[in-house]
């Protein structure tokens, strides 16, 4: 199993100059990465800078996007298609982040996005996770199961090759920005659950 480190920049930094500074720092440290792969997911605006910045020798750092739409083209103001991301040089895309779900993104929408990303030959990073209320009422694994089944849908019945074409990221909503981090014991329980779920 390979260790993946996904850096989601969200809407940071605020200027291109700051983004360049971060890029320079990352480039200095890239040689220290030994047994893991780093995926950088900056805001859409900064994606071209990453494409230009890294050479083929620096394959340990991959480029990802923070979201995508489920259509390749059309009248969808403000959206980004998976094909655009792929053509730009992205290899990964985060889908179903809790902050997107808070804005009304449903499991059905996430399912369409995952299918579109796979079609464009991007690797979807599917985010799943329960709220504090769901955790306290013992619904963690029920929620995670529902999210996986609805978000993946027919993909679960697909060939083994497709099932190995995406990443599932456990993102406990109750631990985000709360000062109450997820313990290794809790994370291990979810990891074992995921192993069992995917068989």
Domain limits of the chain?
1-64, 67-198
Q: Is pLDDT at 155 greater than 60 in this prediction?
A: yes
Specify the range with the lowest mean pLDDT, choosing from 56-70, 87-101, 134-148, 149-163. 149-163
Instruction: Give the distance, in angstroms, between the CA of residue 34 and the centroid of all CA atoms in the same chain.
Output: 22
| The predicted structure's pLDDT at residue 145 | 98
Mean pLDDT across the stretch 129-149? 97
97 tagged catalytic = yes
- Give dist(CA 18, CA 91) in Å, integer: 24
| The predicted structure's pLDDT at residue 80 | 98
Whether residue 68 contacts residue 93, with contact meaning beta carbons closer than 8 Å, is answered with yes
Q: Tell me the pLDDT tens digit for each residue of 94-132.
A: 999 999 999 999 999 999 999 999 999 999 999 999 999
Look up the pTM and report it: 0.93
- Give dist(CA 81, CA 70) in Å, integer: 7
User: Is 37 strand, coil or helix?
Assistant: strand
- Which has more confidence, 14 or 35? 14
Q: Which CATH class is domain 67-198?
A: alpha beta
Which of 37, 105, 130, 171 is flagged as catalytic? 171
Which of 52, 97, 105, 186 is flagged as catalytic? 97
Q: Tell me the pLDDT tens digit for each residue of 49-85.
A: 888 776 555 667 889 999 999 999 999 999 999 999 9
How many CB atoms neighbour CB 134 within 10 A? 17
| The predicted structure's pLDDT at residue 93 | 98
């Amino acid at each position: 199993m390979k260790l993946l480190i996904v850096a989601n920049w969200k809407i940071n930094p605020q200027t291109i100059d700051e983004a360049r500074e971060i890029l320079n720092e990352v480039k200095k440290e890239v040689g220290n990465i030994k047994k893991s792969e780093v995926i950088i997911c900056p805001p859409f605006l900064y994606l071209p800078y990453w494409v230009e910045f890294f050479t083929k020798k620096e394959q340990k750092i991959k480029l990802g996007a923070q979201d995508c739409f489920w259509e390749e083209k059309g009248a969808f103001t403000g959206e980004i298609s998976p094909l655009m991301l792929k053509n730009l040089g992205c290899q990964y895309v985060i889908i179903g982040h809790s902050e997107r779900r808070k804005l009304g993104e449903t499991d059905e929408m996430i399912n369409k996005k995952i299918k579109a990303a796979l079609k464009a030959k991007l690797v979807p990073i599917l985010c799943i996770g329960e709220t504090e209320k769901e955790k306290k009422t013992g619904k963690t694994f029920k929620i995670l199961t529902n999210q996986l089944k609805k978000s993946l849908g027919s993909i679960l019945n697909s060939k083994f090759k497709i099932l190995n074409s995406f990443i599932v990221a456990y993102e406990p909503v109750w631990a985000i920005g709360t000062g109450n981090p997820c313990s290794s014991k809790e994370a291990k329980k979810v990891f074992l659950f995921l192993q069992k779920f995917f068989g």
